[in-house]
Amino acid sequence: MEQDEAVIKIEVTGLRKSYVERRLKRRFLSQCKHQEDCKVLDGLTFSIEAGTFACFIGPSGCGKSTMFRIISGFERPTSGQVLIDGKEVMGPDSRHVCVFQEDGLFPWLTARQNISMGLRKAGSDQSMDSVEEYLDLVGLSGFGDHYPHELSGGMRRRAEVARALITSPDILFMDEPFGALDFVTRLQMREEMVNVHQMFDMTILFITHDIDEALQLGDRIIMLSDRPSKVAWDIVLDEPHPRDLSSGTLRELRRQIYYKMGLHVAL
């Protein structure tokens, strides 16, 4: 816990989202019938303090991405309130940078050009040197003039993170950013995220389907139930970094999470 005043960065109250099922055939996992109101989020409430690394987990299709889009400002809720810095979210904000599930790096620009895009928007007068700095930071020095299609998946993600970081954002929103990567790269990226969080003072809202990932990264873990989603569990995780996933506390947590999700797996 922070010693000084805990500032609430993100406050979500009673968040609900429904849409009308337009398709005649049922979507996979959808219980909704044609023309019927389909509830995805059914009253989410939580608040996140500044500087927290908050991880969201939940079963597939439970609405994590929908929640993500609403909080980051790309969609409006059906009812409920999302406040950031005490103000209602009206749309996407350049101080709250998103890293989406799919590749968001602009393929027509080099890595360097992509990253410096973040520069201009921040309105700061940092020079090209800082682009080099950030390339270095994510381990891509020497690859600055490569185009995304010339980089591996992991390198692309890292470039995207660099692009996000160079704007010195208040909040970093990440929606299953490492899902498409291979196992080893994913582990490396996790390590980088921890470093990034410790280096920069920012709030991170991180969605993942990988429970171990949440345990490894999060100061706070919020679990969503199956749709219509509610908050099923909300805990604070105090473990210092680096974390050993086989340690007792984490094993116990994992067991509890599995149990709450209805999974019965022998550890």
Partner 1 sequence: MAMKKAGFVMVFLLVLFFWQVVTAVFHVPEYMFPRPGDVALALWQMAKSGRLFESSVASLFRVTWGFYLAAATAIPLGLFLGRKRLFRHMLNPLIQFLRPISPLAWIPIALMWFGIGDRPAIFLIFLASFFPLVVSTISSVLNIRTTYLRVAENFGLKGISLYTRVILPAALPEIITAIRITLGTAWLVIVAAEMIAVKSGLGYLIIDARNSLRMDMVVAGMIVIGVIGLVLDFLVRLLERLPSIEWSRMRR
Which residues here bind partner 1, judged by CB under 8 A? 72, 74, 91-94, 96-98, 100, 102-104, 106-109, 117-118, 121, 147-149
Note whether 245 and 212 are within 8 A (CB).
Answer: yes
| Bridge pairing between strands 171-175 and 37-49 | unpaired
Assess contact for 227 and 64: CB atoms under 8 A: no
The residue (of 50 and 109) whose beta carbon lies closer to partner 1 is 109
163 versus 186: smaller Cβ distance to partner 1: 163
Smallest distance from partner 1 to CB 164, Å: 9
Cα-Cα-Cα-Cα torsion 240, 254, 103, 75, nearest 10 degrees, comes to -100
Amino acid at 207: I
Q: Hey, what are 130's tokens?
A: 């800082």
- CB of residue 160 vs partner 1: minimum separation in angstroms? 9
Q: Which is nearer to partner 1, 88 or 238 (CB)?
A: 88
Beta strand 231-236 pairing with 220-224: antiparallel
Measured from the CB atom, the residue of 74 and 258 that comes closer to partner 1 is: 74
CB atoms within 10 A of CB 24: 8
Minimum Å gap between C-beta 147 and partner 1 is 5
Minimal distance, residue 180 CB to partner 1, in Å: 11
CB nearer to partner 1: give 12 or 97: 97
CB half-sphere exposure, 53, CA atoms < 13 A:
23
Min separation Cβ 126 and partner 1, Å: 16
Element (H, E) at 151: none
Would you say 201 and 228 are in contact if contact means Cβ atoms under 8 Å apart?
Answer: no
Instruction: Indicate the residue among 180 and 232 with the shorter CB distance to partner 1.
Output: 180
- Shortest separation between residue 163's beta carbon and partner 1, angstroms: 9
